[in-house]
Chains A and B, each alone.
Chain A
Amino acid sequence: MKRFVTGLGRYSYWLFIAPALLLYLSFKVYPFLNSILLGFYQWSGVPGAPKIWVGLANYNRILVQPPFATMFWRAFGHNLIVFGLLLLWSTGFGLLLAWMLTQIKRGGGFYKIVIFMPHTISIAVTGFLWNLLLNPQFGAINFALRKIGLDFLALPWLGDSKLALPTVVAVQVWHGLGFPVLVGLAAMISVPKDVLEAAAVDGANRLQLFWKMTFPIILPNVINLIALNFMGAFGLFEIVFVMQGAEAGPFYSTDLLGTLFYRTAFGGMGATASGMGLGAALAVVSFLIVIPLSLAATRLQRKYSVEV
């Protein structure tokens, strides 16, 4: 990285950053900071309703007092589980597919398009579609499983509190796998071919080539993907909302910080209660949990940047 003395002036780089920074600060940061303040009030969210200052009472309610604290920590645990699953199924499986794509001669274009296709439909429609497919009686999945004699696998996917969360995550991965595959592919392809070919001539096999040569170079991108998985895991909301409702059932087994927030701030199915103050506090807590870890991720990423 060099410092430019020529050009538009020493501080011209601020002009480059300005549009992005301005729009980001105005339309994302400012509204967020504004709503953080809500966390210190008890407020239903209805305009004109009284805002009562309660200081840290909301935070206490979320972190320590049952029943909220129970729901909070349970949801938090679920978010961690989702992260683990995403690591395996999204980054792990995605990179595997990307690597395979670099190893085959034909069909790459076709596979790329197909892997990416689910992303073209919105997550909401994806959720509806898979709801239909996973129906225990009429759904295609169980229907197919029964047809090939695997009856014992025809389980109530979205109705069993042990299966529901992994199932929902699997659907999310189905929707978004195109991303790690494309990113991984872009990264793997930018590895200079001559380096790889030289190593191959020296007798390295496919796997060695990947781990010893390709992987170190794409490591920053991998860390990126992992970091995004982490943030994705903690921000996951839409797919659960669509498939399991704001109540995140069955029996809270798919409850995440996102659904807990929505239920608290805007009310769940059939309920009319809304607590924006409490919801805001919840969002802030979620934010504070995720921030240090994502900063650590970006630090790691910079550390492992290899200049080619």
Chain B
Amino acid sequence: MESIWKNPRLKWAVIGFHLVLGTYALIVLYPLLVMLLSSIKSTRELITNPYGWPAHPMWSNYVQAWEEARFAVYFKNSIYLTITSTASIIFCASMASYILGRVKFKLNPWVYGLFMAGLVIPGRLAIIPLFLLIRDLHLLNKHIGLILIYTGNAMPFAIFLLTTFFRQIPTELEEAAVVEGAGRFTIYWRIMLPLVRPALATVAIFEFLHIWNDFFYPLVFLRSEKLMTIPVGLSIFFGEYATNWALLFAALAISILPVVVIFIAMSKQFIAGLTAGAIK
């Protein structure tokens, strides 16, 4: 990653920065390392040797976790549900944000305010009316029901974020496009979207994660085993009295993999967006 400064005089400051960043990196990596190490220990070893290296790595934990948490089915569902929902969110929110951030019309602040109000609506309160609505729309126990809910719920946050970025795009580009006869959608698709790629990538990553890890909505709106998602599968390790930590961590390690893939993909978008910005 290119730094803005090439001045060698200021090397001490840079070392200082690395120190701060590095220390924080340790604070992040250590617990995650503990988690990984724990995933290959036996339950007894977790008590006797919680932080050390495992005496006999139990890779079988991964196999067991895969089976007990029914990963074969749940993984597929999680991927489908999360990717579709994220795409839907990006699509709906970016279209709305583009308008709210750049088009002056009387109701603009009111619509924007309406979306912003959603940021403070508490989550679990409205679960019963929401359930009744989904039931009446015959969307219970269907993935599409969840996709619609996730999209609707994510609008405040996504629009909040994207609108700011859309606003910061200089108008010259739009004006040039209009002169060439481009319609609104073309401008949106060809010019605006690529310019806010870092923001889109950010929204995508955070929504992906949020939905990937969401446990409550699938629990309430899905019934069939074959539609369930990974977080619900993980809950099997949380017994009423005792938690099966080793298997839980193994299952988590498995479920983080796609997240890492998406993150790397989004990072590329992020950086691509930066270079595009430079060409501005």
Contacts and interface: CB of A to CB of B under 8 A. Distances in A.
A103 B129 contact: no
A186 B159 CA distance: 16
A231 B98 CA distance: 23
A192 B148 CA distance: 38
A221 B202 CA distance: 13
A186 B199 contact: yes
A251 interface: no
Interface residues of A, number: 104
Given A7-B184, A13-B184, A111-B25, A1 B126 contact: no
A100 B21 CA distance: 8
Contact of A1 (B20, B103, B256): B103
B171 A1 contact: yes
Nearest to B160: A224
Given A16-B99, A28-B155, A186-B199, A102 B4 contact: yes
B178 A13 contact: no
Contacts of B103: 1-4, 13
Contact of A287 (B10, B122, B263): B122
Interface in B26-75: 27-32, 34-35, 50-51
Interface in B194-235: 198-199, 202, 205-206, 209, 213-215, 231
A17 interface: yes
Interface in A185-203: 186, 189-190, 192-193, 196-197, 200
Nearest to B29: A114
Main secondary structure of the interface of A (DSSP, over half): helix
Contacts of A221: 164
Contact of B96 (A16, A45, A261): A16
Given A23-B148, A122-B231, A103 B13 contact: yes
20 contacts: A13-B99, A16-B184, A24-B156, A27-B133, A31-B130, A104-B14, A113-B267, A114-B29, A116-B205, A129-B31, A129-B35, A132-B50, A138-B50, A174-B28, A189-B274, A193-B278, A206-B10, A220-B164, A286-B122, A287-B120
Interface of B: 1-5, 10, 13-14, 17-18, 20-21, 24-25, 27-32, 34-35, 50-51, 91-93, 95-96, 98-100, 102-105, 111-130, 133, 148-149, 151-153, 155-156, 159-161, 164-165, 167-168, 170-171, 174-175, 178, 181, 183-185, 188, 198-199, 202, 205-206, 209, 213-215, 231, 243, 248, 252, 256, 259-260, 263, 267, 270, 274, 277-278, 280
